[in-house]
C-alpha cells in the first residue's frame, strides 16, 4: 500500500471546529483525509469500513453541552455501536484530540476499548477556566502514535474540561493497571522533563497523575488533550522567532506514527 | 417607542397624506428601523455646522475621503458592504469589520458580548467571507470602583469585566475562531458605559463574491428561529421587574448560540463554493426589515415578503414583531429559483433551517404580507430617500487644563507602579481564556517571548496553506488624550495602530474606525467628534492608510453621564513572508538597542502623569512626514533581516517598553537616556515616560549595527544601550537612575489585572 | 447555615443547553420528552443571612435582567 | 410529567467552579461563606417514567465516574 492510498476519516458533528487543520496535517503527510459528518454514517450514506483510521478532532461537539464530548459520544455508542466496535476490534487506529479525547472517554473507547463502558471522566479544569497555553509533554510509553515523538515534546492545550478524573477510591489501583499495560502515554511535565506533579500551569487542567494522553491496551486508540495539529510546523510555536530553525514541530510525529502504523499493518 | 424625530414624523405624515391613507404598524416600524441612527448613520451623513463651517456629510468629507483620494487599487470593497475588503493574494481577499455591542453588554454582559462576537462574524459571512480571526477591545470602569458609588441597578465593573470576557471567549472558542488581538482599557468614564468592540477578519474569494441579485430571486431566511429577541430592548431594561412580563420582556436579552452559527457558516461556505447564491447579507439591527429593504435597494428593485412563512420560536408573534425581530444567528440569502433546491439540500445537511420567505420584484416597492393581508406597502424611493437630513450644530473649545509641577521621585518604584497600572499590566489571565490558535494559522500570537507571556504588538496570521504571505492585525486606542483634545487622540490612535502593525513587519495598511461617543445632539459632544474625524482625514491621508470600514455608536449615556469619547482604530497590514515577522522580546545578550523617532516633553494624558494624579495638557502630537521616514526605514530593516526584536512605545513610554522587552526575552539591558533623540532639553523622568508617538525600540545584532544605521540615515534614531545580564539599568549622563531585576519587573506587570 | 441558590435563564431567554439536551435525548430514543430546561445550583455554607445571599445573587451569581434566582434554606 | 434531575460532582472529586465562586464571594466581602458547591439541574417534561429518567441519567446526563445524580418528581 502506498501512503497516498491511506484513507483517514476526520469525523465531525455540529460544533466540531478543528477538522480543517487536522485533515490538512494528514494531507501534508501524503495520506487522504476526508472530513465527514457523523450524520452521514448514522443515515447509512457512508460506512466506517471505507477508512483505515479515524481522527476525532477538537472543537465543541454539540456545544459541549451537558458535558464535553458527551452528546457525540452517546450518539456514537448508541447509533453506530457495532460498526465502531468492529473498527476498534480490527485494530484500525483512532486518534482523539481534545474534544475527541473527551468523546473517546465518554463513549467507553478509552481506556479499555469497550463501547458503552465509561470508566473515566474529563471534568472541568481545576482552574475553572478555559486554558489556552503551551505545555511540555513527557512520553511515558510508545504506541503506534508516539514512536517518533521525542521524550519531551511541546504542544498547546485549549480546553475547559480536560481534567482527567479516575473513579474516587479506585485511583491508585486503576493507575497501576493502566501503567502496567503501558496505557499512560503522555504526562504533563516541566521544561526539563520532570513530572508536573499537579502543579499549575505545567499541568494546566489539574489532571490526575498529570495525565495528558491515554491509549487503549493495544495502543491503537489514543486520546490526548493537547493539539498536535497546532504544533505541526515550528512556525506554529509561540516562540519560533527565538531561533531560526523552521521545520516540523512535535505534533507531526503523532500523525506520522499513525500513518506508518496503518501502512505496516495493511502490508 | 418609535425613535423618530419630529421632522421625520412630518415627512412620513406628508407621504401618507399624498397616499391618502393611514400607515400600518409594520410600516411605521419599518421607518423607525430603516431611519434609525444605527442603520443610516444620520449624524455622520447629515449636515454639521462646526464653528461656522458647514460640513456636508462628516463620513464622506473625512474618513471616506481618505480612501477616495488615495484610491488604492488593492481596495476591493470599501464602505459598501458589511465589511471592508482588501486584496490579499491571487483570488483571495481579506475582509475586516469591527462593531460595538455596548448597551447589551452593560445590561447582560455575557450575552451582550457573546452576541457582539456573533454579530460581527455574520458581517463577514455577509460578504461571503470565511471568518478566520476575532479581535476584541474592551473598556471598563476601574475594577476597584466603590460599590457605594454605583447607581442602583448598575452593574459593577468587575461583574461586567468577568462576564464580558466569558461571553467573548465562549462565542469565539465554540465557533472555532481564534481571538488573536485586542486591548482592555480602564477608566472611570466607562463605569456606566462599558464598551465592547468585537472584530472579525475573514477570507474572501474574489471569484466567488456574488452581488448580482435580480427580480425573481428568492429571499431565503436561514439559521435560528425568530422570536421577540431584541425588540425594543430599551423599554425592557426599565421594566424588568414587572410581573408576568417575562414572555414579552425576557426576550430583549440574548445569549447567543455559537454552534448554530458554526453550522450556518459551513452551509454558507458550501453555497459559496458551488456558486449557488446571488447575494447575501446578515440580519442585524432592524432584523428582516432592514436586511430585505437594503438588499432590494441595492439591486434597484423591490421585494415581496410573506411573514407567516418565517419559522418562529413560539406562537403569538405579531407581524411587526416578526419583521423587526433581532433574533441572533440568522442570515438572508438571495438565490435564483433554479438553484433553490440545491441550496435547501445543503442547509438540511448541516441541520440548519432555511425558509423561502419571499422574492425580489421588479417594482420598486416593499410589499409585506401576513397570510392574505398586506401589512405593508411602501415605495422604496421614499423609504431610502425620504429621510430628511439632520442638521446639527457642533462646537469645541479646549478644556481648561494646566501642566503639573512635581519633582521626580524614585524612578524604579515608578516603573514598577506603572507596570502594574491596569491599562499597562499583563492581560494574560484574560488572553488564556480565549483560544488564540485554533485553525493553526496564528504565527505571531498575542503572548510572545521566552516564557510565552510577553505583550505582542500585533497578531500575524498565515491564512493560506500554500503561501507564506500573512496578515498583521493591530489596534490603537488613546481615550486619555481625548480628554485634552480629541484631534490628537484620533491622530495618536492611528499612529499607534499603524506602528503596532509595522513593528511585526506589516505594511500596506488598511484602517477601520469605530467611534463611541455621547449624545451627538449636544454641540460640544459633536464638536469633539468632528475634531477626531478631521484628524482621521489628516493623518490617514498623510500615512497613505485608507479606511475600509468602520462604525459609530453614539448616544452612549448613562446615569453617570456620557461615555469617555473613544475612537478605536484597527489596522490590517500585509506581511509578505511570515517567516520574517518580528516579535517584541529581546533575543540575546550583547545586542544593540536602538530607539527610533523623537521623544518630546508631551506627557499630557500619559500614564506617568496619571500615576502622579494629573492629566496635564501637553498631549502627544503626530508629525506625519517625520514619522513616515521612520516607518519606511524600519520596514526596510525588517525586510533586510536586521531586526531581532521590535516593540512600539506607547503607554508608559520608553521605560515600560524596555522593561517589557527585557522580561519577555529574559534578558537585561543597560540604557543611557541622554542619547535619546529629543528636540529639546528634557527631564530624565520625562524622557523615560513620555508617550510621544511614532517611536520604536529595536534590537540589532552588533555585527549588523553598521548596516542598520546606514538604513536609518535621514531619520531620528540613536543607539541607546545594549542587552546584558538580568537587570534593567537606566542612566542619565552616566548617573544611575534605576536598577531593577527583570523578574521583579515582570512580577509587578503580571499583578495588575487578574480575571 | 446552608443555603441553596438556583439560577436559571428567564423564560423567553434562549437556553441552548436545554435545547441540545432535548435533541440528544430524543436521538437516544427517549421519544416522550417534550421539553428540557437547565439551571445552575449553588450550595452556600457559612455564616450568612438571607439578605446576604440575596446580595450574592445580585452581585455575582445571577444577572437579574436575564436570570431568575431562588433562594432556599437547607439547614439552620 | 415533570422531573428534576440534579447532577453534581461526587464527593472526593474537586468542584472547581464551587471553589472559584467561594473565592469570588470572599473577594466581594462575604467573609462568612465557608464552602460553595455547585450542581446542574435539568428539568425534563414529557411522557416519561422514573425508570426512563434513570436511564437518561446513566446514558447521558451524568458521568458515572465523576458525578452523582438525584431525581425528583416536580409534577404528576
Ligand atoms: N463611522 C464610520 N466610519 C467608517 N465607515 C463606516 C462608518 N459607519 C458605517 N461605515 C461603513 O458603511 C458600511 C455600512 O455600514 P453599516 O450599515 O453600519 O453596516 P452593518 O450592516 O454591518 O451595520 C460599512 O462598510 C461600514 O464600514
Ligand atoms: Mg451588519
Could you tell me if C13 lies within 8 Å of chain B, comparing CB atoms? yes
Chain B residue numbers touching A156 (CB-CB < 8 A): 437
pLDDT tens for B129-147 read 999 999 999 999 999 999 9
Closest to B112 measured CA to CA, from B235, B255, B265: B255
Could you tell me if C60 lies within 8 Å of chain A, comparing CB atoms? no
Q: Which pLDDT belongs to residue C13? A: 84
Where are the domains positioned within chain D? 2-74
Is the pLDDT at B539 greater than 70, yes or no?
A: yes
Could you tell me if B744 lies within 8 Å of chain C, comparing CB atoms? no
Where are the domains positioned within chain B? 51-99+110-199+426-547+567-581, 210-371, 584-755
pLDDT confidence band for D53 (50 / 70 / 90): very high
CA distance B121 to B171: 10
Three-state DSSP at C19 gives: helix
Residue C60 C-alpha, separation from nearest chain D C-alpha, in angstroms: 8
Residue of A161, A227, A252, A256 marked active site: A227
Chain C residue numbers touching D25 (CB-CB < 8 A): 44, 56, 60
Selecting from A74, A165, A206 the residue whose C-beta is nearest the C-beta of D66 gives: A165
CA distance B464 to A57: 20
Q: Which residue of C has its CA nearest to A75?
A: C28
Q: What percent of chain D has pLDDT over 70?
A: 100
* CB-CB under 8 Å, D18 with C36: no
pLDDT confidence band for B251 (50 / 70 / 90): low
Alpha carbon of B502 to ligand 1 centroid (Å): 26
Residue D12 C-alpha, separation from nearest chain A C-alpha, in angstroms: 6
Is the pLDDT at B228 greater than 50, yes or no?
A: yes
CA distance B326 to B234: 13
Tell me how far CA of residue B718 lies from CA of A14, B598, B712, B722, in angstroms: 56, 10, 9, 12
pLDDT confidence band for B232 (50 / 70 / 90): low
Q: Kindly report the CATH class assigned to B210-371.
A: alpha beta
- Mark B219-250 as b/e (b = at least 16 C-beta within 10 Å): bbbbbbbbbbbbbbbeebbeebeeeeeeebbb
Selecting from B156, B246, B259 the residue whose C-beta is nearest the C-beta of C10 gives: B246
Q: Which residues contact C47 (CB under 8 A, 6 or more apart)?
A: C1, D32, D33, D34
Alpha carbon of B291 to ligand 2 centroid (Å): 9
Q: Which pLDDT belongs to residue B110? A: 96
The distance in angstroms from the start CA to the end CA of chain A is 7
Is the pLDDT at D73 greater than 70, yes or no?
A: yes
The answer to whether A18 is a known catalytic residue is no
Q: Which pLDDT belongs to residue A79? A: 93
Q: Is B44 in the pocket of ligand 1 (CB under 6 A)?
A: yes
Is the pLDDT at B96 greater than 80, yes or no?
A: yes
Question: Which H or E element spans position D41?
Answer: strand D33-46
Q: Which residues contact A86 (CB under 8 A, 6 or more apart)?
A: A48
Nearest-CA residue for ligand 1 atom 3 is B550
Strands B302-306 and B365-370: parallel
Counting beta carbons within 10 angstroms of the beta carbon of residue B336, is it exposed (0 to 12), middle (13 to 18) or buried (19 or more)? middle
- What's the CATH code, domain B584-755? 3.90.650.10
Residue B669 CA to chain centroid, in angstroms? 35
What Rg value do the Cα atoms of chain A yield, rounded?
17
pLDDT confidence band for B2 (50 / 70 / 90): low
- Tell me if domain B210-371 and domain B584-755 are identical in fold: yes
CA distance A184 to A194: 16
Question: Which H or E element spans position A224?
Answer: strand A221-224
Is the pLDDT at B230 greater than 90, yes or no?
A: no
The distance in angstroms from the start CA to the end CA of chain C is 5
Nearest-CA residue for ligand 1 atom 20 is B82
CA distance A224 to A12: 17
pLDDT tens for A60-83 read 999 999 999 999 999 999 999 999
Question: Which H or E element spans position B496?
Answer: helix B486-504
pLDDT tens for C30-70 read 999 999 999 999 999 999 999 999 999 998 999 988 899 99
Torsion angles phi and psi, residue B580, rounded to 5: -100, 5
Place of cell 404580507: B369
pLDDT confidence band for B500 (50 / 70 / 90): very high
Strands D67-75 and D2-9: antiparallel
Mutation target vs A (from D66, D68, D69; most A CBs, 10 A cutoff) = D66
* CB-CB under 8 Å, C43 with D39: yes
Nearest-CA residue for ligand 1 atom 27 is B549
CATH topology of domain C2-74: Mth169; Chain: A , (3.30.1280)
Where are the domains positioned within chain A? 3-170+178-265
Could you tell me if B223 lies within 8 Å of chain C, comparing CB atoms? no
Sign of CA dihedral A163, A164, A170, A175: negative
Torsion angles phi and psi, residue C40, rounded to 5: -120, 145
- What's the CATH code, domain A3-170+178-265? 3.40.50.880
Superfamily holding B51-99+110-199+426-547+567-581 = PurM-like, N-terminal domain (3.30.1330.10)
Least confidently predicted of A242-246, B7-11, B83-87: A242-246
Selecting from D13, D19, D60 the residue whose C-beta is nearest the C-beta of A123 gives: D13
Question: Which H or E element spans position B267?
Answer: helix B258-273
Q: What is the DSSP code string of B159-200?
A: HHHHHHHHHHHHHHHHHT--EEEEEEEE-GGGSSS-EEEEEE
Q: Which pLDDT belongs to residue B5? A: 87
Chain C residue numbers touching A75 (CB-CB < 8 A): 24, 27-28
Cis peptide bond upstream of C4, omega within 30: no
Is the pLDDT at B246 greater than 60, yes or no?
A: no
Question: Which H or E element spans position A79?
Answer: helix A70-79
Residue A170 C-alpha, separation from nearest chain D C-alpha, in angstroms: 10
pLDDT confidence band for B247 (50 / 70 / 90): very low
Which set of grid coordinates corresponds to residue B406? 512635581
Q: Taking residues B221-236, report their average pLDDT.
A: 77
Three-state DSSP at D44 gives: strand
Let me know the angle formed at the C-alpha of D28 by D25 and D32, rounded to the nearest 5 degrees: 55
Least confidently predicted of A236-245, B113-122, B643-652: A236-245
What Rg value do the Cα atoms of chain D yield, rounded?
15
The answer to whether A229 is a known catalytic residue is yes
pLDDT tens for B698-728 read 999 999 999 999 999 999 999 999 999 999 9
Does ipTM exceed 0.85? yes
Q: Is B551 in the pocket of ligand 1 (CB under 6 A)?
A: yes
pLDDT tens for B267-309 read 999 999 999 999 999 998 899 999 999 999 999 999 999 999 9
Which pTM does this prediction carry? 0.95
Q: What is the DSSP code string of B303-332?
A: EEEEGGGS-BSSS---HHHHHH---SSEEE
Could you tell me if B173 lies within 8 Å of chain A, comparing CB atoms? yes
CA distance B156 to B158: 5
Ligand nearest to the CA of B40: 1
pLDDT tens for B642-675 read 999 999 999 999 999 999 999 999 999 999 999 9
pLDDT tens for A188-238 read 999 999 999 999 999 999 999 999 999 999 999 999 999 999 999 999 999
SS3 content of chain D, % helix, strand, coil (to 5): 30, 40, 30
Q: Taking residues B219-223, report their average pLDDT.
A: 98
Q: Which pLDDT belongs to residue D75? A: 80
pLDDT confidence band for B249 (50 / 70 / 90): very low
Closest to B287 measured CA to CA, from B218, B225, B338, B238: B225
Chain B residue numbers touching A64 (CB-CB < 8 A): 174
Which set of grid coordinates corresponds to residue A263? 501502512
Q: Which pLDDT belongs to residue B252? A: 66
Is the pLDDT at B243 greater than 60, yes or no?
A: no
Is the pLDDT at A245 greater than 90, yes or no?
A: no
Chain C residue numbers touching B234 (CB-CB < 8 A): none
CA distance D30 to D9: 24
Tell me how far CA of residue A2 lies from CA of A10, A90, A252, D3, in angstroms: 20, 20, 19, 56
pLDDT confidence band for C14 (50 / 70 / 90): confident
Amino acid at each position: 500500500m502506498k501512503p497516498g492510498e491511506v484513507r483517514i476519516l476526520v469525523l465531525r458533528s455540529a460544533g466540531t471546529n478543528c477538522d480543517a487543520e487536522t485533515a490538512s496535517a494528514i494531507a501534508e503527510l501524503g495520506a487522504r483525509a476526508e472530513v465527514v459528518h457523523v450524520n452521514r454514517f448514522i443515515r447509512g450514506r457512508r460506512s466506517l469500513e471505507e477508512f483505515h483510521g479515524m481522527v476525532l478532532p477538537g472543537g465543541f461537539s454539540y456545544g459541549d453541552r451537558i458535558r464535553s464530548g458527551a452528546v457525540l459520544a452517546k450518539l456514537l455508542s448508541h447509533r453506530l455501536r457495532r460498526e465502531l466496535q468492529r473498527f476498534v476490534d480490527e485494530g484500525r487506529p483512532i486518534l482523539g484530540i481534545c474534544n475527541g479525547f473527551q468523546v473517546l472517554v465518554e463513549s467507553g473507547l478509552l481506556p479499555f476499548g469497550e463501547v458503552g463502558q465509561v470508566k473515566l471522566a474529563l471534568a472541568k479544569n481545576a482552574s475553572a477556566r478555559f486554558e489556552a497555553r503551551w505545555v511540555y509533554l513527557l512520553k511515558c510509553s510508545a504506541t503506534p502514535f508516539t514512536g517518533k515523538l521525542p521524550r519531551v515534546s511541546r504542544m498547546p492545550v485549549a480546553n475547559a474540561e480536560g481534567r482527567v478524573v479516575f473513579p474516587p477510591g479506585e485511583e491508585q489501583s486503576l493507575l497501576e493497571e493502566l501503567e502496567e499495560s503501558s496505557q499512560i502515554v503522555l504526562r504533563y511535565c516541566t521544561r526539563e522533563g520532570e513530572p508536573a506533579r499537579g502543579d499549575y500551569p505545567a499541568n494546566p487542567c489539574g489532571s490526575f497523575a498529570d495525565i495528558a494522553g491515554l491509549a487503549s491496551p493495544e495502543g491503537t486508540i489514543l486520546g490526548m488533550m493537547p493539539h498536535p495539529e497546532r504544533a505541526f510546523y515550528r512556525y506554529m510555536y509561540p516562540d519560533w522567532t527565538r531561533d531560526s530553525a523552521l521545520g516540523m514541530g512535535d505534533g507531526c510525529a503523532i500523525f506520522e506514527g499513525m500513518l506508518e502504523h496503518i501502512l505496516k499493518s495493511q502490508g | 417607542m418609535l425613535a423618530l424625530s419630529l421632522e421625520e414624523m412630518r415627512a412620513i405624515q406628508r407621504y401618507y397624506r399624498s397616499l391618502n391613507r393611514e400607515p400600518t404598524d409594520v410600516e411605521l416600524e419599518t421607518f423607525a428601523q430603516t431611519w434609525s441612527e444605527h442603520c443610516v448613520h444620520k449624524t455622520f451623513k447629515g449636515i454639521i455646522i462646526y464653528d461656522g463651517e458647514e460640513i456636508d456629510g462628516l463620513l464622506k468629507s473625512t474618513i471616506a475621503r481618505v480612501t477616495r483620494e488615495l484610491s488604492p487599487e488593492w481596495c476591493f470593497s470599501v464602505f459598501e458592504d458589511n465589511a471592508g475588503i482588501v486584496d490579499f493574494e491571487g483570488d483571495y481577499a481579506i475582509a475586516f469589520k469591527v462593531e460595538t455591542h455596548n448597551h447589551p453588554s452593560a445590561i447582560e454582559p455575557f450575552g451582550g458580548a457573546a452576541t457582539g462576537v456573533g454579530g460581527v462574524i455574520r458581517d463577514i459571512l455577509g460578504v461571503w467571507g470565511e471568518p478566520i480571526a476575532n479581535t476584541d477591545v474592551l473598556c471598563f470602569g476601574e475594577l476597584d470602583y466603590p460599590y457605594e458609588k454605583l447607581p442602583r441597578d448598575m452593574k459593577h465593573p468587575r461583574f461586567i469585566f468577568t462576564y464580558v470576557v466569558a461571553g467573548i471567549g465562549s462565542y469565539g472558542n465554540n465557533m472555532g475562531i481564534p481571538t488573536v488581538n485586542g486591548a482592555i482599557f480602564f477608566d472611570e468614564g466607562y463605569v456606566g458605559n462599558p464598551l465592547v468592540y468585537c472584530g472579525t477578519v475573514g477570507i474572501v474569494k474574489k471569484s466567488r463574491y456574488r452581488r448580482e441579485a435580480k427580480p425573481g430571486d428568492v429571499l431565503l431566511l436561514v439559521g435560528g428561529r425568530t422570536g421577540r429577541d431584541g425588540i425594543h430592548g430599551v423599554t425592557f431594561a426599565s421594566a424588568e421587574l414587572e410581573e408576568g412580563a417575562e414572555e414579552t420582556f425576557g426576550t430583549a436579552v440574548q445569549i447567543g448560540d455559537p454552534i448554530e452559527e458554526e453550522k450556518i457558516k459551513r452551509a454558507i461556505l458550501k453555497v459559496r463554493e458551488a456558486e449557488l447564491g446571488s447575494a447575501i447579507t446578515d440580519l442585524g439591527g432592524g432584523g428582516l426589515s432592514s436586511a430585505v429593504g437594503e438588499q432590494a435597494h441595492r439591486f434597484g428593485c423591490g421585494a415581496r415578503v410573506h411573514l407567516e412563512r418565517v419559522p418562529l420560536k413560539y406562537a403569538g408573534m405579531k407581524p411587526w414583531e416578526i419583521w423587526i425581530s433581532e433574533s441572533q444567528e440568522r442570515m438572508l440569502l438571495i438565490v435564483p429559483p433554479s438553484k433553490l433546491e440545491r441550496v435547501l439540500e445543503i442547509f438540511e445537511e448541516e441541520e440548519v433551517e432555511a425558509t423561502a420567505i419571499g422574492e425580489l420584484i421588479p417594482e420598486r416597492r416593499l410589499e409585506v404580507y401576513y397570510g392574505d393581508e398586506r401589512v405593508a406597502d411602501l415605495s422604496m424611493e421614499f423609504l431610502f430617500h425620504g429621510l430628511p437630513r439632520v442638521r446639527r450644530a457642533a462646537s469645541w473649545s479646549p478644556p481648561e487644563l494646566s501642566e503639573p509641577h512635581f519633582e521626580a521621585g524614585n524612578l524604579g518604584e515608578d516603573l514598577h507602579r506603572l507596570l502594574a497600572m491596569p491599562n499597562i499590566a499583563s492581560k494574560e489571565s484574560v488572553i488564556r481564556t480565549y483560544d488564540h490558535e485554533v485553525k493553526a494559522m496564528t504565527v505571531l500570537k498575542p503572548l510572545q517571548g521566552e516564557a510565552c507571556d510577553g505583550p505582542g504588538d500585533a497578531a500575524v496570521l498565515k491564512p493560506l496553506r500554500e503561501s507564506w504571505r500573512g496578515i498583521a492585525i493591530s489596534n490603537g486606542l488613546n481615550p486619555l488624550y481625548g480628554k485634552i483634545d480629541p484631534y490628537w487622540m484620533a491622530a495618536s490612535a492611528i499612529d499607534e495602530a499603524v506602528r503596532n502593525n509595522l513593528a511585526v513587519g506589516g505594511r500596506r495598511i488598511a484602517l477601520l474606525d469605530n467611534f463611541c461617543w455621547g449624545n451627538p445632539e449636544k454641540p460640544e459632544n459633536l464638536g469633539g467628534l468632528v475634531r477626531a474625524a478631521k484628524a482621521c482625514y489628516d493623518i490617514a491621508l498623510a500615512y497613505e492608510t485608507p479606511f475600509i470600514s468602520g462604525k459609530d455608536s453614539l448616544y452612549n449615556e448613562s446615569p453617570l453621564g456620557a461615555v469617555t469619547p473613544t475612537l478605536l482604530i484597527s489596522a490590517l497590514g500585509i506581511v509578505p513572508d511570515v517567516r520574517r515577522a518580528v516579535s517584541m522580546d529581546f533575543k540575546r545578550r550583547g545586542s544593540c538597542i536602538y530607539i527610533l523617532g523623537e521623544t518630546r516633553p508631551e506627557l499630557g494624558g500619559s500614564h506617568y502623569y496619571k500615576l502622579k494624579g494629573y492629566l496635564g495638557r501637553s498631549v502627544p502630537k503626530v508629525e506625519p512626514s517625520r514619522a513616515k521616514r521612520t516607518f519606511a526605514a524600519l520596514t526596510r530593516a525588517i525586510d533586510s533581516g536586521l531586526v531581532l526584536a521590535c516593540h512600539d512605545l506607547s503607554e508608559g513610554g520608553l521605560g515600560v517598553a524596555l522593561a517589557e522587552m527585557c522580561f519577555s526575552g529574559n534578558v537585561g539591558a543597560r540604557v543611557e537616556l541622554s542619547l535619546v533623540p529629543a528636540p529639546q532639553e528634557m527631564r530624565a523622568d520625562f524622557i523615560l515616560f513620555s508617550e510621544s508617538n511614532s517611536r520604536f525600540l529595536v534590537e540589532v545584532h552588533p555585527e549588523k549595527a553598521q548596516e542598520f544605521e546606514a538604513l536609518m540615515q535621514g531619520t531620528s534614531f540613536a543607539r541607546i544601550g545594549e542587552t546584558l545580564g538580568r537587570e534593567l539599568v537606566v542612566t542619565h549622563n552616566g548617573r544611575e537612575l534605576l536598577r531593577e531585576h527583570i523578574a521583579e519587573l515582570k512580577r509587578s506587570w503580571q499583578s495588575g489585572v487578574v480575571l | 447555615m446552608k443555603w441553596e441558590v438556583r439560577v436559571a435563564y428567564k423564560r423567553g431567554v434562549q437556553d441552548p443547553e436545554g435545547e441540545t439536551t432535548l435533541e440528544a435525548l430524543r436521538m437516544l430514543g427517549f421519544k416522550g420528552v417534550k421539553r428540557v430546561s437547565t439551571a445552575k445550583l449553588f450550595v452556600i455554607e457559612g455564616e450568612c443571612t438571607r439578605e446576604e445571599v440575596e446580595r450574592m445573587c445580585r452581585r455575582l451569581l445571577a444577572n437579574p435582567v436575564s436570570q431568575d434566582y431562588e433562594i432556599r434554606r437547607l439547614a439552620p
